[in-house]
Structure 1
Protein backbone atom coordinates (compact mmCIF):
# COMPACT_ATOMS: atom_id res chain seq x y z
CA UNK A 1 0.00 0.00 0.00
CA UNK A 2 2.80 2.42 0.93
CA UNK A 3 4.51 1.63 -2.37
CA UNK A 4 1.34 2.49 -4.30
CA UNK A 5 0.99 5.80 -2.42
CA UNK A 6 4.66 6.63 -3.08
CA UNK A 7 4.28 5.89 -6.80
CA UNK A 8 1.11 8.02 -6.96
CA UNK A 9 2.86 10.89 -5.17
CA UNK A 10 5.81 10.75 -7.54
CA UNK A 11 3.46 10.66 -10.53
CA UNK A 12 1.61 13.71 -9.22
CA UNK A 13 4.92 15.52 -8.65
CA UNK A 14 6.02 14.69 -12.18
CA UNK A 15 2.72 15.98 -13.56
CA UNK A 16 3.06 19.20 -11.55
CA UNK A 17 6.60 19.75 -12.80
CA UNK A 18 5.53 19.06 -16.37
CA UNK A 19 2.70 21.58 -16.11
CA UNK A 20 5.02 24.18 -14.57
CA UNK A 21 7.55 23.60 -17.35
CA UNK A 22 4.82 23.89 -19.97
CA UNK A 23 3.63 27.16 -18.41
CA UNK A 24 7.17 28.50 -18.38
CA UNK A 25 7.60 27.70 -22.07
CA UNK A 26 4.22 29.26 -22.88
CA UNK A 27 5.20 32.44 -21.06
CA UNK A 28 8.59 32.65 -22.78
CA UNK A 29 7.03 32.11 -26.21
CA UNK A 30 4.28 34.65 -25.57
CA UNK A 31 6.68 37.34 -24.33
CA UNK A 32 9.14 36.69 -27.16
CA UNK A 33 6.33 37.02 -29.69
CA UNK A 34 4.82 40.20 -28.23
CA UNK A 35 8.09 41.84 -27.11
CA UNK A 36 10.89 40.41 -29.27
CA UNK A 37 13.44 42.96 -28.02
CA UNK A 38 12.99 41.91 -24.39
CA UNK A 39 15.48 39.41 -23.01
CA UNK A 40 13.65 37.21 -20.53
CA UNK A 41 15.68 35.90 -17.61
CA UNK A 42 14.19 33.46 -15.13
CA UNK A 43 10.56 32.34 -15.17
CA UNK A 44 9.18 30.66 -12.06
CA UNK A 45 5.94 30.35 -10.09
CA UNK A 46 5.19 33.27 -7.78
CA UNK A 47 3.54 33.13 -4.39
CA UNK A 48 0.16 33.58 -6.13
CA UNK A 49 -1.27 30.54 -7.89
CA UNK A 50 -1.46 31.00 -11.66
CA UNK A 51 0.93 33.94 -11.65
CA UNK A 52 4.56 33.57 -12.67
CA UNK A 53 7.52 35.71 -11.64
CA UNK A 54 9.59 36.84 -14.62
CA UNK A 55 12.93 38.67 -14.44
CA UNK A 56 13.87 41.04 -17.24
CA UNK A 57 17.20 42.77 -16.70
CA UNK A 58 17.02 44.26 -13.21
CA UNK A 59 13.23 44.16 -13.08
CA UNK A 60 10.62 41.65 -11.96
CA UNK A 61 7.21 41.31 -13.59
CA UNK A 62 4.32 38.94 -13.01
CA UNK A 63 2.72 37.08 -15.91
CA UNK A 64 -0.33 34.82 -16.14
CA UNK A 65 0.39 31.15 -16.81
CA UNK A 66 -0.71 31.50 -20.46
CA UNK A 67 1.52 34.53 -21.00
CA UNK A 68 -1.48 36.67 -21.94
CA UNK A 69 -1.46 39.12 -19.04
CA UNK A 70 1.46 40.99 -17.50
CA UNK A 71 1.31 42.72 -14.13
CA UNK A 72 3.81 45.43 -13.21
CA UNK A 73 4.14 46.22 -9.52
CA UNK A 74 5.20 44.86 -6.15
CA UNK A 75 3.83 41.76 -4.50
CA UNK A 76 3.28 42.37 -0.78
CA UNK A 77 2.61 39.82 1.95
CA UNK A 78 -0.04 41.79 3.83
CA UNK A 79 -0.02 39.66 6.97
CA UNK A 80 3.76 39.67 7.30
CA UNK A 81 4.05 43.27 6.02
CA UNK A 82 6.85 42.22 3.70
CA UNK A 83 7.49 43.50 0.16
CA UNK A 84 8.28 40.17 -1.49
CA UNK A 85 9.18 41.77 -4.81
CA UNK A 86 11.70 44.17 -3.27
CA UNK A 87 13.37 41.30 -1.42
CA UNK A 88 13.87 39.47 -4.71
CA UNK A 89 14.84 42.61 -6.62
CA UNK A 90 17.75 43.12 -4.25
CA UNK A 91 19.09 39.71 -5.28
CA UNK A 92 18.60 40.55 -8.96
CA UNK A 93 20.53 43.82 -8.54
CA UNK A 94 23.33 42.08 -6.66
CA UNK A 95 23.76 39.50 -9.43
CA UNK A 96 23.61 42.14 -12.16
CA UNK A 97 26.38 44.21 -10.56
CA UNK A 98 28.53 41.12 -9.99
CA UNK A 99 28.01 40.12 -13.62
CA UNK A 100 29.12 43.57 -14.80
CA UNK A 101 32.44 43.08 -13.00
CA UNK A 102 34.95 45.31 -11.24
CA UNK A 103 36.92 45.85 -14.43
CA UNK A 104 34.00 47.96 -15.68
CA UNK A 105 33.84 50.24 -12.65
CA UNK A 106 36.03 52.95 -11.12
CA UNK A 107 36.82 51.76 -7.62
CA UNK A 108 37.95 53.76 -4.59
CA UNK A 109 39.02 51.34 -1.86
CA UNK A 110 40.25 52.05 1.69
CA UNK A 111 43.13 50.17 3.31
CA UNK A 112 40.65 48.26 5.46
CA UNK A 113 37.35 47.68 3.71
CA UNK A 114 34.31 46.87 5.85
CA UNK A 115 31.59 47.56 3.32
CA UNK A 116 31.16 47.90 -0.43
CA UNK A 117 28.64 50.01 -2.31
CA UNK A 118 28.08 50.61 -6.00
CA UNK A 119 27.09 54.18 -6.83
CA UNK A 120 25.45 55.43 -10.02
CA UNK A 121 26.91 58.88 -10.52
CA UNK A 122 26.63 61.83 -12.89
CA UNK A 123 29.73 64.02 -13.18
CA UNK A 124 27.60 67.19 -13.36
CA UNK A 125 25.24 66.26 -10.50
CA UNK A 126 25.62 68.57 -7.49
CA UNK A 127 25.06 65.95 -4.79
CA UNK A 128 27.31 63.50 -6.68
CA UNK A 129 30.06 66.10 -6.49
CA UNK A 130 29.38 66.67 -2.80
CA UNK A 131 29.62 62.93 -2.13
CA UNK A 132 32.90 62.61 -4.00
CA UNK A 133 34.36 65.69 -2.32
CA UNK A 134 34.00 63.70 0.92
CA UNK A 135 35.58 60.52 -0.49
CA UNK A 136 38.21 60.50 2.28
CA UNK A 137 35.43 60.36 4.87
CA UNK A 138 33.91 57.31 3.21
CA UNK A 139 37.35 55.69 3.07
CA UNK A 140 37.81 56.43 6.80
CA UNK A 141 34.55 54.56 7.49
CA UNK A 142 35.90 51.55 5.60
CA UNK A 143 33.50 51.95 2.66
CA UNK A 144 34.66 50.80 -0.77
CA UNK A 145 32.96 52.79 -3.53
CA UNK A 146 32.42 51.28 -6.97
CA UNK A 147 31.35 53.99 -9.41
CA UNK A 148 29.08 53.44 -12.39
CA UNK A 149 28.12 56.30 -14.71
CA UNK A 150 24.58 57.47 -15.25
CA UNK A 151 24.62 60.74 -17.24
CA UNK A 152 21.06 61.86 -16.64
CA UNK A 153 21.01 64.06 -19.76
CA UNK A 154 21.38 60.92 -21.85
CA UNK A 155 23.72 59.53 -24.45
CA UNK A 156 25.52 62.16 -26.48
CA UNK A 157 25.17 64.84 -23.78
CA UNK A 158 28.10 66.77 -22.30
CA UNK A 159 27.88 64.64 -19.17
CA UNK A 160 28.01 61.49 -21.29
CA UNK A 161 31.11 62.64 -23.16
CA UNK A 162 32.77 63.62 -19.87
CA UNK A 163 32.10 60.13 -18.53
CA UNK A 164 33.67 58.56 -21.62
CA UNK A 165 36.69 60.87 -21.40
CA UNK A 166 37.17 60.03 -17.71
CA UNK A 167 36.99 56.32 -18.44
CA UNK A 168 39.51 56.64 -21.27
CA UNK A 169 41.96 58.72 -19.20
CA UNK A 170 45.32 57.27 -18.21
CA UNK A 171 44.40 57.69 -14.54
CA UNK A 172 40.63 57.22 -14.24
CA UNK A 173 40.42 57.98 -10.52
CA UNK A 174 42.37 61.22 -10.85
CA UNK A 175 40.38 62.21 -13.94
CA UNK A 176 37.08 61.54 -12.14
CA UNK A 177 38.15 63.57 -9.10
CA UNK A 178 39.17 66.49 -11.32
CA UNK A 179 35.92 66.31 -13.28
CA UNK A 180 33.92 66.28 -10.04
CA UNK A 181 35.67 69.52 -9.08
CA UNK A 182 34.43 71.13 -12.29
CA UNK A 183 37.39 70.58 -14.61
CA UNK A 184 36.50 69.47 -18.12
CA UNK A 185 38.44 66.28 -18.86
CA UNK A 186 40.51 66.20 -22.07
CA UNK A 187 38.28 64.68 -24.76
CA UNK A 188 39.12 61.03 -25.33
CA UNK A 189 37.36 58.01 -26.75
CA UNK A 190 38.00 54.31 -26.31
CA UNK A 191 36.13 51.09 -25.72
CA UNK A 192 34.11 51.84 -22.59
CA UNK A 193 31.26 50.47 -20.43
CA UNK A 194 29.24 53.70 -20.14
CA UNK A 195 26.33 52.38 -22.21
CA UNK A 196 26.29 49.23 -20.06
CA UNK A 197 26.18 51.39 -16.95
CA UNK A 198 23.25 53.34 -18.38
CA UNK A 199 21.37 50.19 -19.34
CA UNK A 200 21.87 48.82 -15.84
CA UNK A 201 20.60 52.11 -14.41
CA UNK A 202 17.52 51.81 -16.61
CA UNK A 203 17.02 48.21 -15.48
CA UNK A 204 17.27 49.36 -11.86
CA UNK A 205 14.84 52.22 -12.59
CA UNK A 206 17.32 54.83 -11.40
CA UNK A 207 15.50 58.17 -11.22
CA UNK A 208 18.30 60.37 -9.92
CA UNK A 209 21.90 60.45 -8.80
CA UNK A 210 23.69 59.52 -6.72
CA UNK A 211 21.98 56.18 -6.24
CA UNK A 212 23.69 53.82 -3.82
CA UNK A 213 23.37 50.05 -4.16
CA UNK A 214 24.58 47.94 -1.24
CA UNK A 215 26.35 44.58 -1.31
CA UNK A 216 23.00 42.89 -0.74
CA UNK A 217 21.38 44.80 -3.59
CA UNK A 218 19.36 47.21 -1.44
CA UNK A 219 19.01 50.82 -2.53
CA UNK A 220 19.68 54.13 -0.81
CA UNK A 221 18.52 56.86 -3.19
CA UNK A 222 20.39 60.13 -2.97
CA UNK A 223 23.35 61.45 -0.99
CA UNK A 224 24.17 60.04 2.45
CA UNK A 225 27.02 61.38 4.63
CA UNK A 226 29.78 58.84 5.28
CA UNK A 227 28.91 58.19 8.92
CA UNK A 228 25.20 57.78 8.19
CA UNK A 229 25.92 55.43 5.30
CA UNK A 230 28.27 53.36 7.47
CA UNK A 231 25.56 53.05 10.13
CA UNK A 232 23.02 51.94 7.53
CA UNK A 233 25.44 49.37 6.11
CA UNK A 234 26.19 48.07 9.60
CA UNK A 235 22.45 47.67 10.18
CA UNK A 236 22.17 45.76 6.91
CA UNK A 237 24.86 43.37 8.02
CA UNK A 238 23.21 42.96 11.41
CA UNK A 239 26.18 44.41 13.24
CA UNK A 240 24.10 46.78 15.35
Structure 2
Protein backbone atom coordinates (compact mmCIF):
# COMPACT_ATOMS: atom_id res chain seq x y z
CA UNK A 1 0.00 0.00 0.00
CA UNK A 2 2.76 2.35 0.87
CA UNK A 3 5.94 2.96 -1.11
CA UNK A 4 9.21 1.69 0.27
CA UNK A 5 10.92 4.38 2.30
CA UNK A 6 14.24 5.11 3.90
CA UNK A 7 14.84 7.39 6.85
CA UNK A 8 17.94 9.55 6.58
CA UNK A 9 18.58 9.79 10.31
CA UNK A 10 16.42 8.00 12.86
CA UNK A 11 16.06 8.99 16.49
CA UNK A 12 19.34 10.90 16.21
CA UNK A 13 20.47 13.31 18.89
CA UNK A 14 19.63 16.94 18.29
CA UNK A 15 22.43 19.23 17.24
CA UNK A 16 21.13 21.53 19.96
CA UNK A 17 22.21 19.93 23.27
CA UNK A 18 20.25 22.45 25.32
CA UNK A 19 17.02 21.03 23.97
CA UNK A 20 17.80 17.58 25.30
CA UNK A 21 19.05 18.88 28.63
CA UNK A 22 15.82 20.83 29.03
CA UNK A 23 13.87 17.74 28.08
CA UNK A 24 15.58 15.65 30.78
CA UNK A 25 15.14 18.36 33.37
CA UNK A 26 11.41 18.64 32.73
CA UNK A 27 10.62 14.97 32.17
CA UNK A 28 9.31 14.49 35.69
CA UNK A 29 6.93 17.42 35.26
CA UNK A 30 5.19 16.21 32.09
CA UNK A 31 1.43 16.27 32.75
CA UNK A 32 -0.33 12.92 32.67
CA UNK A 33 -2.39 13.99 29.66
CA UNK A 34 0.79 14.61 27.67
CA UNK A 35 2.77 11.65 28.99
CA UNK A 36 0.20 9.12 27.79
CA UNK A 37 0.25 8.09 24.13
CA UNK A 38 -2.68 9.10 21.95
CA UNK A 39 -5.69 6.80 22.31
CA UNK A 40 -5.48 5.97 18.62
CA UNK A 41 -1.84 5.77 17.49
CA UNK A 42 -2.94 5.62 13.84
CA UNK A 43 -4.65 9.03 14.02
CA UNK A 44 -2.77 12.33 14.12
CA UNK A 45 -3.89 14.71 16.86
CA UNK A 46 -2.04 17.89 15.83
CA UNK A 47 -2.72 19.83 19.03
CA UNK A 48 -1.60 16.94 21.25
CA UNK A 49 1.56 16.40 19.23
CA UNK A 50 2.45 20.10 19.23
CA UNK A 51 1.95 20.29 23.00
CA UNK A 52 4.03 17.21 23.69
CA UNK A 53 6.96 18.30 21.50
CA UNK A 54 6.91 21.74 23.09
CA UNK A 55 6.80 20.28 26.60
CA UNK A 56 9.48 17.65 25.94
CA UNK A 57 11.95 19.62 23.81
CA UNK A 58 10.97 23.27 24.02
CA UNK A 59 10.35 23.42 20.28
CA UNK A 60 7.54 25.56 18.94
CA UNK A 61 5.81 23.54 16.22
CA UNK A 62 4.55 25.90 13.52
CA UNK A 63 2.94 23.13 11.49
CA UNK A 64 2.39 19.38 11.83
CA UNK A 65 0.99 17.14 9.12
CA UNK A 66 0.78 13.47 8.22
CA UNK A 67 3.28 11.92 5.80
CA UNK A 68 3.18 8.85 3.57
CA UNK A 69 4.96 6.91 6.32
CA UNK A 70 2.35 5.22 8.58
CA UNK A 71 2.26 6.90 11.98
CA UNK A 72 4.91 9.54 11.18
CA UNK A 73 4.21 13.28 11.05
CA UNK A 74 6.25 16.11 9.51
CA UNK A 75 7.02 18.94 11.93
CA UNK A 76 7.91 22.48 10.87
CA UNK A 77 9.35 24.15 13.97
CA UNK A 78 11.03 27.38 14.95
CA UNK A 79 14.35 25.52 14.73
CA UNK A 80 13.91 23.59 11.52
CA UNK A 81 12.18 20.53 10.11
CA UNK A 82 11.82 17.24 11.97
CA UNK A 83 9.59 14.17 12.12
CA UNK A 84 7.79 12.50 15.02
CA UNK A 85 5.50 9.57 15.70
CA UNK A 86 1.86 10.60 15.99
CA UNK A 87 1.90 10.04 19.75
CA UNK A 88 5.11 12.07 20.21
CA UNK A 89 6.99 9.12 21.72
CA UNK A 90 9.65 9.17 18.97
CA UNK A 91 11.43 12.17 17.49
CA UNK A 92 13.37 11.96 14.23
CA UNK A 93 16.01 14.31 12.84
CA UNK A 94 16.84 13.80 9.17
CA UNK A 95 15.10 13.28 5.84
CA UNK A 96 12.64 10.69 4.64
CA UNK A 97 12.70 9.56 1.03
CA UNK A 98 10.25 7.62 -1.11
CA UNK A 99 11.85 5.04 -3.41
CA UNK A 100 8.79 4.21 -5.50
CA UNK A 101 8.71 4.04 -9.30
CA UNK A 102 12.53 3.99 -9.58
CA UNK A 103 12.75 7.59 -8.34
CA UNK A 104 14.02 9.01 -5.07
CA UNK A 105 11.76 11.74 -3.67
CA UNK A 106 12.09 13.82 -0.52
CA UNK A 107 8.57 13.46 0.88
CA UNK A 108 8.76 16.78 2.74
CA UNK A 109 9.55 18.88 -0.34
CA UNK A 110 5.96 19.33 -1.50
CA UNK A 111 4.87 20.63 1.89
CA UNK A 112 7.98 22.74 2.32
CA UNK A 113 7.63 24.26 -1.16
CA UNK A 114 4.17 25.56 -0.27
CA UNK A 115 5.36 26.92 3.08
CA UNK A 116 8.34 28.63 1.42
CA UNK A 117 6.18 30.38 -1.17
CA UNK A 118 3.66 31.50 1.44
CA UNK A 119 6.42 32.81 3.67
CA UNK A 120 8.21 34.65 0.89
CA UNK A 121 5.08 36.72 0.28
CA UNK A 122 5.46 38.28 3.73
CA UNK A 123 8.94 39.55 2.82
CA UNK A 124 8.27 40.84 -0.69
CA UNK A 125 8.77 44.46 0.40
CA UNK A 126 11.82 43.66 2.54
CA UNK A 127 14.11 41.92 0.05
CA UNK A 128 17.09 43.51 -1.66
CA UNK A 129 16.39 43.10 -5.36
CA UNK A 130 18.70 43.05 -8.39
CA UNK A 131 16.23 43.04 -11.25
CA UNK A 132 16.95 41.72 -14.74
CA UNK A 133 16.06 44.13 -17.53
CA UNK A 134 14.41 41.38 -19.58
CA UNK A 135 13.15 39.31 -16.68
CA UNK A 136 12.43 35.63 -17.35
CA UNK A 137 13.01 34.12 -13.93
CA UNK A 138 12.93 35.22 -10.30
CA UNK A 139 14.91 33.51 -7.55
CA UNK A 140 14.91 34.31 -3.84
CA UNK A 141 18.31 33.79 -2.23
CA UNK A 142 19.28 33.62 1.44
CA UNK A 143 22.67 35.29 1.70
CA UNK A 144 25.38 36.36 4.12
CA UNK A 145 28.18 38.89 3.70
CA UNK A 146 30.94 36.58 4.98
CA UNK A 147 30.00 33.65 2.73
CA UNK A 148 32.64 33.13 0.01
CA UNK A 149 30.26 31.57 -2.49
CA UNK A 150 27.70 34.31 -1.80
CA UNK A 151 30.35 36.84 -2.78
CA UNK A 152 31.27 34.87 -5.89
CA UNK A 153 27.62 34.69 -6.91
CA UNK A 154 27.16 38.41 -6.35
CA UNK A 155 30.24 39.23 -8.43
CA UNK A 156 28.45 37.55 -11.35
CA UNK A 157 25.20 39.45 -10.91
CA UNK A 158 25.52 41.16 -14.29
CA UNK A 159 25.72 37.76 -15.96
CA UNK A 160 22.69 36.43 -14.06
CA UNK A 161 20.70 39.53 -14.95
CA UNK A 162 21.76 39.32 -18.60
CA UNK A 163 20.25 35.83 -18.68
CA UNK A 164 16.95 37.24 -17.44
CA UNK A 165 17.37 36.11 -13.82
CA UNK A 166 16.22 38.53 -11.14
CA UNK A 167 17.73 38.05 -7.68
CA UNK A 168 15.80 38.80 -4.49
CA UNK A 169 18.01 38.58 -1.41
CA UNK A 170 16.97 37.62 2.11
CA UNK A 171 19.29 37.88 5.09
CA UNK A 172 20.71 34.80 6.76
CA UNK A 173 23.55 35.59 9.19
CA UNK A 174 25.43 32.30 9.44
CA UNK A 175 26.68 33.25 12.90
CA UNK A 176 23.09 33.48 14.12
CA UNK A 177 21.32 36.41 15.73
CA UNK A 178 23.29 36.29 18.99
CA UNK A 179 26.77 35.10 19.86
CA UNK A 180 27.78 32.80 22.72
CA UNK A 181 27.79 35.66 25.20
CA UNK A 182 24.20 36.52 24.35
CA UNK A 183 25.07 39.70 22.49
CA UNK A 184 23.98 40.45 18.93
CA UNK A 185 26.39 38.74 16.56
CA UNK A 186 28.61 40.77 14.23
CA UNK A 187 27.04 38.99 11.26
CA UNK A 188 23.59 40.11 12.31
CA UNK A 189 24.72 43.69 12.93
CA UNK A 190 26.43 43.87 9.53
CA UNK A 191 23.38 42.61 7.67
CA UNK A 192 21.13 44.93 9.68
CA UNK A 193 23.34 47.85 8.67
CA UNK A 194 22.97 46.84 5.02
CA UNK A 195 19.19 46.53 5.21
CA UNK A 196 18.99 49.85 7.08
CA UNK A 197 21.01 51.75 4.46
CA UNK A 198 19.37 54.35 2.25
CA UNK A 199 20.47 52.34 -0.78
CA UNK A 200 20.53 48.76 0.50
CA UNK A 201 21.41 47.25 -2.89
CA UNK A 202 24.50 49.41 -3.20
CA UNK A 203 25.39 48.79 0.46
CA UNK A 204 25.19 45.02 -0.03
CA UNK A 205 27.39 45.17 -3.13
CA UNK A 206 29.99 47.20 -1.23
CA UNK A 207 29.84 44.89 1.77
CA UNK A 208 30.34 41.77 -0.35
CA UNK A 209 33.27 43.38 -2.14
CA UNK A 210 34.95 44.06 1.20
CA UNK A 211 34.58 47.84 1.01
CA UNK A 212 33.19 48.13 4.52
CA UNK A 213 29.78 48.76 6.02
CA UNK A 214 28.45 51.97 7.51
CA UNK A 215 26.96 51.05 10.89
CA UNK A 216 23.19 51.56 10.94
CA UNK A 217 20.38 50.63 13.32
CA UNK A 218 16.71 50.43 12.38
CA UNK A 219 13.72 48.11 12.54
CA UNK A 220 15.00 45.56 10.03
CA UNK A 221 13.60 42.22 8.79
CA UNK A 222 16.92 40.41 9.30
CA UNK A 223 15.93 38.37 12.35
CA UNK A 224 12.53 37.44 10.89
CA UNK A 225 14.12 36.36 7.61
CA UNK A 226 16.73 34.30 9.45
CA UNK A 227 14.05 32.55 11.53
CA UNK A 228 11.98 31.89 8.42
CA UNK A 229 15.02 30.39 6.72
CA UNK A 230 15.58 27.98 9.61
CA UNK A 231 11.95 26.88 9.47
CA UNK A 232 12.11 25.97 5.79
CA UNK A 233 15.36 24.04 5.87
CA UNK A 234 18.07 26.65 5.25
CA UNK A 235 21.26 25.70 7.09
CA UNK A 236 23.85 27.48 4.97
CA UNK A 237 24.30 30.10 2.30
CA UNK A 238 23.64 30.69 -0.48
CA UNK A 239 20.27 28.93 -0.51
CA UNK A 240 18.23 29.53 -3.65
CA UNK A 241 14.44 29.23 -3.73
CA UNK A 242 12.87 28.88 -7.17
CA UNK A 243 9.46 30.18 -8.19
CA UNK A 244 7.93 26.74 -7.59
CA UNK A 245 9.17 26.67 -3.99
CA UNK A 246 11.97 24.18 -4.61
CA UNK A 247 15.18 25.03 -2.75
CA UNK A 248 18.65 24.59 -4.25
CA UNK A 249 21.44 24.78 -1.65
CA UNK A 250 24.82 26.15 -2.65
CA UNK A 251 26.38 28.20 -5.40
CA UNK A 252 25.07 27.83 -8.95
CA UNK A 253 27.07 29.43 -11.83
CA UNK A 254 24.99 31.65 -14.15
CA UNK A 255 24.76 29.17 -17.05
CA UNK A 256 23.98 26.28 -14.73
CA UNK A 257 21.29 28.21 -12.85
CA UNK A 258 19.72 29.33 -16.13
CA UNK A 259 19.56 25.72 -17.35
CA UNK A 260 18.07 24.60 -14.07
CA UNK A 261 15.40 27.30 -14.26
CA UNK A 262 14.54 26.35 -17.83
CA UNK A 263 13.85 22.78 -16.74
CA UNK A 264 12.10 23.42 -13.44
For the superposition of Structure 1 and Structure 2, which TM-score range results when normalised by the shorter chain? 0.7 to 0.9
Given that residues 81 and 233 in structure 2 are in contact (C-alpha distance below 8 angstroms), is that contact kept between their aligned partners in structure 1? no
Structure 2 CA distance for partners of 1:228 and 1:197, relative to 1, 3 Å? same
Secondary structure at 1:103 match in 2 = coil
Partner of 1:176: 204
Higher helix share: 1
Show CA shifts across 1:185-236 (max 9, x none).
Answer: 2211111111122222333443432221212222222222222111101111
> In the TM superposition, what is the alpha-carbon distance from 1:29 to its structure 2 partner?
2.8
1:93 aligns with 2:93: no
Match of 2:138 in 1: 116
Q: TM-score if structure 2 supplies the norm length?
A: 0.72
SS at match of 2:225: helix
| Aligned position for 1:25 | 47
Q: CA deviation at 1:54?
A: 2.8
Q: TM-score w.r.t. structure 1 length?
A: 0.79
Check 1:127–1:73 CA distance in 2 against 1; reply closer, same or farther (3 A cut). Answer: closer
Contact 1:60 1:89 in 2 (8 A): no
Listed one character per residue, the Cα deviations across residues 73-113 of structure 1 (whole Å, up to 9, x for unaligned) are: 322222233221233333332322223x2122111112332
Of residues 189-198 and 118-127 in structure 1, the stretch that sits farther from structure 2 once superposed is: 118-127
Larger radius of gyration: 1
Per-residue CA deviation, residues 5-43 of structure 1 (Å, 9 max, x unaligned), is: xxxxxxxxxxxxxx846x33322332232244x332333
Q: How does 1:21-100 map to 2 (within 5 A)?
A: 23-36=45-58, 38-57=59-78, 59-80=80-101, 81=103, 82-99=105-122
Query: CA separation in 2, counterparts of 1:103 and 1:58?
Result: 24
Deviation at 1:175, TM superposition (A): 1.2
Residue 263 of structure 2 aligns to a residue in which SS?
helix
Take 1:228 and 1:154, find their aligned partners in 2: how far apart are those partners?
A: 30
Distance 2:120 2:214 in 1: 29
Closer, same or farther: CA 51–207 of 1 in aligned 2, 3 Å: closer
Q: SS in structure 2 opposite 1:164?
A: helix
Q: Check 1:108–1:58 CA distance in 2 against 1; reply closer, same or farther (3 A cut).
A: farther
Relative to structure 1, is the Cα distance of residues 42 and 188 closer, same or farther in structure 2, using a 3 angstrom cutoff? closer
Deviating more after overlay: 224-233 vs 124-133: 124-133
Structure 1 gaps of 5+ residues are: 1-18
- Provide the residue aligned with 2:153 in structure 1: 131
Q: Distance in 1 between matches of 2:55 and 2:187?
A: 37
